[in-house]
Structures are given as structure tokens and as C-alpha cells.
Amino acid sequence: MFAFFNKNDPATDENVELDAQRIPAHVAIIMDGNGRWAKSRHLPRVAGHKEGMNTVKKITIAASDLGVKVLTLYAFSTENWKRPTDEVNYLMQLPVSFFDTFVPDLVKHNVRVQVMGYTDQLPAKTQKAVRDAVADTQACDGMVLNFALNYGSRAEMVTGIQAIAQQVQAGKLTVDQIDERTVDDALMTSALGQYHDPDLLIRTSGEERISNFLLWQIAYSELVFTDVKWPDFTATTLKACIADFQHRDRRFGGLSDHK
Ligand code: IPE
Ligand code: IPE
Ligand code: MG
């Protein structure tokens, strides 16, 4: 008997059975609810971000152990600059503490770090932490841990459209030659090769919106929304989300195998 995933249930069934042949290759997560997690404990919002960082560590290892090929984590959006300066500063310092303590574990698990977003706008120390982590894990050929940092899908599309228009202007491409592949290649996810589109997109904390994340790339992703706030998200919750994914019938506009 398999237990169907219930989004209101924090998924305590540790024995959920997964089909090892159908693990989603690219899992993307909108890690949400840190602030509300802290508030419910009468703690400052940043305490939620700190605990959320520990969740990132646990979920990275869990995803890698399950055989996920790419784990994309939405860590900071192009709109998150609207938050109070103290909170933004804390979020900018988090990658520094995260990589300081976690790179040896990443290497041990053969996990390679990648980053997508407008990283040139981050504080110098954040940029350095990210650059060092990418360099230190460069030889790892297991799961890719892809952080979306100062990422926004609309900005990404504008940048991509500008790059395509420049190729046309330079005579390297004709308008007729622009196809879906051209767009795929112009987006930041092109660095993920064959895994550019998420198979499974998870959002925690009960919010059911996309908040400017991977708009083009999720055209046929399976979406899972869970009420669990990110600091409470565990390897078991991840398995429950993947179990839900495995019960979906992905048709891509066609008909299912068992018509
Ligand atoms: C997600 O948690 C982390 C970031 C967006 C950086 P939030 O900080 O958005 O937490 P809530 O949504 O306010 O609870
Ligand atoms: C999305 O969460 C961004 C990240 C998780 C980094 P937000 O908390 O910023 O999204 P909204 O404001 O609720 O849409
Ligand atoms: Mg939020």
C-alpha cells in the first residue's frame, strides 16, 4: 500500500516506497516560510533563515542519496531586495557561513555547486564565497546543487531576449532560426545541459504561487505545494513529494502509456 501525499500532513511516514527508476532528475524548490517559522516561535525572522540553512544541508544530502541529478534551490529573488536592510544583509552573509562549513561535505558526497542569477550585484564577500565553492567542487561529478541567487525569471528572460537580439543584429542568426532551443540556450538554466527544465517543482509554506521562478522552464514540471515551512522540511517530506510526483501521469500534451 502506498500512502498518497497529503499537503496538509507533514509526511511522517518514513517508510514511503519510491520507484528508484523514476526519481525526478531535476528537482527545484522554492524554499519558503522561514520568517513565519521564526515568528511562530517568537524568534526574529533571521532565526528562520539560519534554521533554513540547516535544512538546505540535510536536503542536499538526501536528494543526492536518492539519485537526483540537479537540485535547484531558490535562495534569493531579484525582488527580495525590497526587504529590510538587516534581513537582506543577513541573507547575503548566509552563503558565506553555509559554504564555510559545508564544502567538505559537498565534496564527500561528490556534489558540484553551480549558481544562477545576477551574482555581480551581490556583496563582494558573498560573490567570493560562491566563487570559491564552485571552484572547490568543480571536480565533483555527482549531483549538481544549483543555487538561484539574485535570480528572477522575468529578468532572466529579458537578458536572454537581449542576447538573441544581439545575435540577430550581428548577423549570426536570422529571425526564422529562432526556436525553442534558441530560447533554452539563452537562459541561465542552459548551464544545466540536458537537465535545464525541472521535472518536479516544490514550494513549501502553503503559498501556491511561482514568485518569478523559472517561468519558461516549468512549462511541463509537476508542481507540489506543501504546507510544511522550509525549516521543518525533512528528507521524509522530500520523499513524500517525490512519491506524489511518481503518482502523476505526465502526458506532455499527448496520451498516457496506459490509454
Ligand atoms: C524564504 O522564507 C526565504 C527567502 C525568501 C529568502 P521567507 O523569508 O520568505 O519566509 P516567509 O514567507 O516570510 O514566512
Ligand atoms: C520566493 O519567496 C523567493 C525565495 C524563496 C527565494 P518570497 O517569500 O520572496 O515570495 P512572495 O513574496 O511570497 O511571493
Ligand atoms: Mg516568503
Closest-lying ligand 2 atom to the alpha carbon of residue 35? 8
Q: Is residue 121 part of a domain?
A: yes
Distances from the Cα of 130 to the Cα of 48, 49, 159, 208, 240, angstroms: 22, 18, 22, 30, 31
The CATH number that applies at residue 226 is 3.40.1180.10
CA distance 118 to 115: 9
State residue 2's pLDDT score. 44
Q: Which ligand has the nearest atom to the CA of 211?
A: 2
Q: Which ligand has the nearest atom to the CA of 230?
A: 1
Confidence of residue 12 (pLDDT cuts 50, 70, 90): low
Q: Is residue 239 part of a domain?
A: yes
Helix (H, G, I), strand (E, B) or coil at 203: strand
> Average of pLDDT values for 188-195?
98
- Find out whether the beta carbon of 80 lies less than 6 Å from any atom of ligand 1: yes
Our answer to whether residue 32 is catalytic in this structure is: yes
CA distance 21 to 112: 23
- Per the structure, the complete domain to which residue 231 belongs is given by 6-11+23-151+197-246
Structure-block grid coordinates of residue 148 = 538561484
- Find out whether the beta carbon of 151 lies less than 6 Å from any atom of ligand 2: no
- Find out whether the beta carbon of 146 lies less than 6 Å from any atom of ligand 2: no
For the chain, what is the domain count?
A: 1
CA distance 86 to 6: 36
Q: Is residue 162 part of a domain?
A: no
Radius of gyration of the chain (CA): 19
Smallest CA separation from ligand 1 atom 3, residue: 32
Q: Is residue 41 part of a domain?
A: yes
Closest CA to 135 of 91, 105, 103: 103
CA distance 29 to 198: 10
CA distance 233 to 229: 6
State residue 3's pLDDT score. 46
Q: How big is the chain, counted in residues?
A: 259
> How would DSSP label each residue in 58-118?
HHHHHHHHHT-SEEEEEEEETTGGGS-HHHHHHHHHHHHHHHHHHHHHHHHTTPEEEEES-
Supply the pTM of this predicted model.
Answer: 0.95
Smallest CA separation from ligand 2 atom 3, residue: 77
Q: Is residue 188 part of a domain?
A: no
Our answer to whether residue 86 is catalytic in this structure is: no
pLDDT digits over 96-125, tens only?
999 999 999 999 999 999 999 999 999 999
The strand pair at 200-203 and 144-151 is best described as unpaired
**Cα of 33 from ligand 1 centre, angstroms:** 5
Closest-lying ligand 1 atom to the alpha carbon of residue 76? 6
CA distance 6 to 244: 9
Q: Is residue 86 part of a domain?
A: yes
State residue 1's pLDDT score. 36
Smallest CA separation from ligand 2 atom 2, residue: 32
> Average of pLDDT values for 18-35?
98
Q: Phi and psi at residue 37, in whole multiples of 5°?
A: -60, -45
CA distance 80 to 142: 31
Q: Is residue 83 part of a domain?
A: yes
Closest-lying ligand 2 atom to the alpha carbon of residue 31? 5
Q: Is residue 95 part of a domain?
A: yes
